[in-house]
Amino acid sequence: MFSDHLSLFRVGYRWTVALGCYAVLLIPGFIQVGYYYFYSSQVRRGFVYGDQPRNRLDLYLPKNMNGPKPVVAFVTGGAWIIGYKALGSLLGQQLSERDIIVACIDYRLRKTVLLGGWVNFPQGTISDMVKEASQGISFICNKIAEYGGDPNRIYLMGQSAGAHIAACTLLEQAIKEADAEQRACWSVSQIKAYFGLSGGYNFLKLVDHFHSRVHVADIVFGTCTASWKGNKV
């Protein structure tokens, strides 16, 4: 069974062993970051911004809080299926040491089949992720002053899938603000800048690429081959 999955991903045993050794070498670094995340007094975990189980965010605060600090709202990546707010802990540590508050936003993910077993994340569509990221940003815009942040210096950042979600959130919010009948809890004008790191933005240009690797999509996204081929854009 495992060898079948390796063949689908076009990964041989040598590469698997090499990746395993590389992962072992990374363990000391992960331990350091994990210790910082769970035990540092500068990390404030689990602020609730919505009514879903994953609607939480973490704050990374500078040691020196003598005045309002700039704020980075960070949406983590993870291919829309494996992300978690703690993945932003290294970024939070590095920026907080430079007198910047970092808020890492968590959100619901897709439920997927991976290597033959269920990874039981709460189910959510891309629209749900965008909606919840918007709620997290709203919390930051309206509450960050209570934790020493400067509401006039808020920057939005996303990485990989998080970059895509953050970009969609800005677009959705701009559309909402253009409609006078819709109530907005935060404004795009409150975001000083957006930084998208290694994100996917124009998926129409990636359709052929995804179809050429449909067997991988079957495993990662739990989507049948026939469905992908039948719904090609």
The predicted-structure confidence for 143-152, as pLDDT tens digits, reads as follows 999 999 999 9
Q: Where are the domains of the chain?
A: 1-39, 42-201, 203-233
Report the C-alpha dihedral over residues 157, 31, 15, 12, rounded to 10 degrees.
-90
Which of these CATH numbers, 3.40.50.970, 3.30.460.80, 3.40.50.1820, 3.90.550.10, describes 42-201? 3.40.50.1820
Cα separation, 223 vs 88, in Å, equals 29
The predicted-structure confidence for 11-57, as pLDDT tens digits, reads as follows 566 777 887 888 888 888 778 888 888 989 999 999 999 988 889 99
**137, exposed or middle or buried, with CB in 10 Å at 0-12, 13-18, 19+?**
buried
Strands 43-48 and 56-60, sheet pairing = antiparallel
Residue 182 CA neighbour count, 13 Å, CB half: 12
Q: What number is the average pLDDT over the span 138-167?
A: 94
Q: Is the pTM of this model over 0.85?
A: no
